[in-house]
Amino acid sequence: MAGASAAAAHASLLTKYDVRLTDLQRETLSSEEIRGQAGVEHRLYESLVTTLDGFVSTTDLDEQGTLDQQGGILGLNYRKHNPWGMLLSSYSGSYTTSEQSGGGGTGVVIDESHTATDIFPVQLDRTNIDVLSIRVKDTDGSLFQEGDDYTITEQDGRVWLNLTTLGAIPPNITEGQTFFVDYNFFIEPEREEDTLRHYFNIRQRFGNGVSLYYAYRRQDQDVSSTVADITPDRYTVNTIAADYTHKGLFLLAEYSDEDSTQVPSTSTKLAGQYRWLLGPATSASVGISNQWLEFGAPDARDVQLLKGDAKLFSRLSNTCTVSAGVDYRDEDDTRFGVTRGFQFETELQYRYRQVSAKLGAELSFLSRRDDEINSAFLYLQVQRRF
């Protein structure tokens, strides 16, 4: 890969550009991409920052045709002190168009990155996926197991992974972790796709610790293919929330409604957490949350989830830390049944320069899907970065 970039700036204006050439060769896939992008950033005092970026790319997929893409994004970020506290707001609007030409064939995706959540399904990026080829992996390459760690939902050429953090067979998925997916997909000849996205949020932070928040997300999409009818991924999401912060106390009330052509849903959440220092390098926290969710087709189900946790963390030295925690879960899912029980974990971690090591243990006492799961998992991980 080769690239070139340059930037010139003065007090309030920054310009940038970038050109890249990427040549990718795999056993079943060959691609060569040329991508150019340029943008400007304008800062008006300390209150408003405006960015405008555009790109154009062309990709030669060898026997599978060519892919041409172009688009741009406009961003506005605003923050201002006022008599009540601080007002923060941002908006971004983007437009992307792509055109696939040439013949059909089978494409290969390696290490598609996602963030794990055991409530909302994770949608894979491509369409017309061969579900039998799906492999879900941890960052170290360990495979997660279908049925134990995730299930697959497919509709109109789209695929979702329904994850669970309560797998009985290690390795197990954890909430918020990064994981990777490999799969094969069918490339449609002469596929065209136009996508327009909007995102807006506004938050007022008051001086007494109260904060009010509203967010709006929308995506409009048109997709056409010569071989399949594909439902465009169109959605509108409205979220309102209020939270309160005072010293170590945090309280949250949030409601979100998503009107979608893929997986419509509503979510109501109440949460609280308290964190305090036990010493210069030791802290403890306790938290509780209750969430009510309703999903529409293709994953129609209702979920009520009560979670509680207590955690302890201590830095023993500049290179060594220790942590311990207990989690309680009471979940009633109209599709997957009732899950209830405790999980305990403790970990000793060592870091020095490029070397890191972890020694830990996990204990689970769960009732899930009419099964009793009592398990113990010990692990040792050593890593050297170069």
CA atoms within 13 A on the CB side of 363: 7
Overall residue count recorded for the chain in this entry: 386
Q: Which residue has the tokens 């036990």?
A: 278
Q: pLDDT tens across 261-302, in order?
A: 878 999 999 999 999 989 889 999 999 999 999 988 777 889
Question: What tokens appear for 8 in the block?
Answer: 């010139």
Beta bridge partners of 248: none
With CA atoms as reference, report the closest residue to 168 among 370, 364, 381, 369: 364
Considering only CA atoms, give the Rg of the chain. Answer: 24
Mean pLDDT of 307-334: 93
pLDDT band at 5 (very low <50, low <70, confident <90, very high): very low
Q: pLDDT tens across 229-240, in order?
A: 667 888 999 999
CA distance 27 to 303: 43
The answer to whether the CB of 12 falls within 8 A of the CB of 42 is yes
CA distance 55 to 101: 19
The answer to whether the CB of 264 falls within 8 A of the CB of 296 is yes
- Per the prediction, the chain carries an average pLDDT of 85
- Quick one: pLDDT at residue 29? 57
| Region of poorest pLDDT, from 17-31, 63-77, 244-258 | 17-31
Whether 323 has a pLDDT exceeding 90, the answer reads yes
Per DSSP, the three-state class of 64 is: helix
CA distance 267 to 41: 36
Q: Residue 28 region, left (φ>0) first, then alpha (ψ -120 to 50), else beta?
A: alpha
Question: Going by C-beta distance under 8 Å and a sequence separation of 6 or more, which residues neighbour residue 57?
Answer: 33, 34, 35, 36, 68, 69, 70
Q: Residue 369 region, left (φ>0) first, then alpha (ψ -120 to 50), else beta?
A: left
Neighbours of 45 (CB within 10 A): 8
Per DSSP, the three-state class of 286 is: strand
Per DSSP, the three-state class of 124 is: coil
pLDDT band at 103 (very low <50, low <70, confident <90, very high): low
